[in-house]
Structure 1
Amino acid sequence: MKEKLAAIKHTWKFIVLLVLVVLAFCYAMFQGGFVSWFLFYSFLPFAIYSIAVSLYPIMDVQIERHLPKHEFNAGEPLKVQMILRRTNSFPLFYIFVEDLLSETLKTPGKKALLFPGFKKEIIFDYSIDDLPRGEHIFHSVKLKTGDLLGMIEKEREAKSDSKIIVYPSFTEMLYRPFENHYDQGMTASRERVQRDTTMAIGIRDYQPGDRFSWINWKATAKRNEIMTKEFEQRQSHDVMVVLDCAPEPRFEANVSFTASVTRAILKKGAQVGLLTVTRERASFPIRGGESHLQQIFYHLAKVQPVCAVSVDKVLEAEMFYTGQNVTMMIVTSTLTKQLIEKASFLGQKKGMVTIFLLKNEKESPSNEELSLKTVGNTRGVRVIMVHEHQFETAFSEVTLR
């Protein structure tokens, strides 16, 4: 329907232009004299050009969008180069170009008024200074040209698909585990490995701290010195990160912190998993490696705060995780009594659950949050307040004060 109205409008303007030419000619013929013919001949070039513009095939204009890369981090700038190529050198007075950007970019379409003249190739650049997190698609470009009189306008919307992925911003952090789980039970430790007591790979001299059960009695009798079994060391610190995806003004900070902490954990050599629940549940198993980090970051780039239930309800539906020997970290901006109770219940199975409470840069905790933090400590739940732009303090024993 819109295209039909545009065609009718274009045809009507073309008819009006022809009528004006005929009227100018008739006026010169009947009036005669220098002035009337001067007006006719002065108007005639503009009219001929307008007619030529109306016949100009704007569909022949080819459009290319060049992007420097297709993967960015949130906050990075994007410089885009638009190239318009024509098959002929017909002199165009102007071309109005508008790149119709995706709504997810949260910025209006970029516009430019170009004066190509006889040029077959026209280039213009524009930039977006602060890319938001997400997957963004550039669908089409709108072109518009016309004559000097404004009588004729030709418009075209050309498809030119491009896609970029903007990963969440992250902060370089030094991850220090709050605790590790050993085969003999739970103990507080900042070590990154544990000994697998089921696989002895040799013997060594006794060292202070070695367990009595590790002593190799045969080797001790032969050497007349206390010798202990040497066990294979294996990675044991597994972390499951749960991101609260309920609608929240600080959600972007939550995502950024989640990206920072998962990257720091994997960089430390431990393994990490991620759980998010939006309109759909997404769970990434506990693994390590660069490809696993890439999968998590790709998911975090697209996740949106559309979860209809609170994070404690999400944990309630994930009961099967209680059977795994992992450390759980919950990233949220809302601390409630129900969340503390649920985290305490999970802590009885895991030994410790840590809640990271995200706050604005200079925001202080409320009295209710301070009270809930105290309740959490008595129930074995660690609550750590993390301010935006200060993520590196998350593992430096920063607590609610």
Structure 2
Amino acid sequence: MLQDPSPSDYQFRLRDSLIGAQMLFVAFGALVLVPLLTGLDANVALFTAGAGTLVFQVLTRRMVPVFLASSFAFIAPILYGVQTWGVPATLCGLVAAGFFYVILSLFIRWRGVGTLQRLLPPVVTGPVIMVIGLVLAPVAVNLALGRSGDGAVELVARGPALLVSMGALTTVVLASLLGRGFVRLVPILLGIGVGYVLALPFGLVDFSGVRDAAWLALPAFVLPEWNWRAVLFIVPVAIAPAIEHFGDILAISSVTERNYLKNPGVHRTLMGDGLATILASSLGGPPNTTYSEVTGAVALTRLTNPAIMTWAALSAICLSFVDKLGALLRTIPTPVMGGIMLLLFGAILVVGLSSLARCGEDLMEPRNLAIISLIVVFGVGGMTFSAGQFVIEGIGLAGLLGVLLNLLLPRPSRSAREAR
């Protein structure tokens, strides 16, 4: 016989819902940053982050306390794709990246995690992550100086732009270094806030869009359109965040003292990530990934109940229907975003360097030297391969090249390694 919930049950649910809203606040700055930088809709990103987290929870039997939202690794390909093919075609490539995760998860279930680690070692994934940061660096500098991402158009005068961008950057750095507790978890949000306030006296903020926006409205969903060039360009980029996924699952396992690599299994977590990305990209949102900021909040609060992430996901979905929120986010001036991007894209580079430093390999060994150097130079230098209408370049080319070189280049014998 079913019993009615007791008052204490309602109290726990209310507490969990408030904590879940706090977890969303931790992720909010990074979550909306990706769509704001790439031209996607922030309200759609909120909706797909919430929906994607719920999909992940279903796949992992609600065992893992993580929140999924906009992936930074795809900023560069989305920027390029939107400028080259438009939003719907770019979404097609992002959907394909989600299917790549799904195929990879099935491969892991069949062959085990070790096989994937041999196929995609740090000497491949580390340089690919570095290329993402290096390719994005000029975009960050241009926006911080008040120009468009390609530097062709001046949007804001150089002086006010530098003051605003450096103020936002300084806030993020100080919050990261000196912040304590909750403050340290939301440096991007604080940076956006300070930059926004600095921009107001210069007249860089236009509130007309906020006044005209409705309070409640359906998010502006966009459906993907088939474009094989976008697929070939974006799918290789998914190699790096797929490997990072293991690090994220290891991190939350360490925080909760549970082995999620075994139960529910990394094949399930990666499958959840892939299906969440497919759902997000099919509706016009950026690809989803597990958020380390939220993992940090879990470590700080010691609240490891996955139900809290359910409430965070539901809060994101509810906020996505507040049209004035999306309009307000669109008023954030370009230099504010540029200042934050200076640190953000540099941090992506450092993640790649850290991956190489920790791998324990001799980076000057000829095979490793060839793989790393060619990935970086091809990716950053703008190398392009084409055959008829087939074209592959940039980060996609760098990722594919790294995988091929790792498979084809002969490995040194043990005697050769010992001789060195």
Common fold by TM > 0.5: no
TM-score, length basis structure 2: 0.19
Larger RCO, structures 1/2 (Cα 8 Å, 6+ apart): 2
Q: Higher helix share goes to which structure?
A: 2
Q: Higher strand share goes to which structure?
A: 1
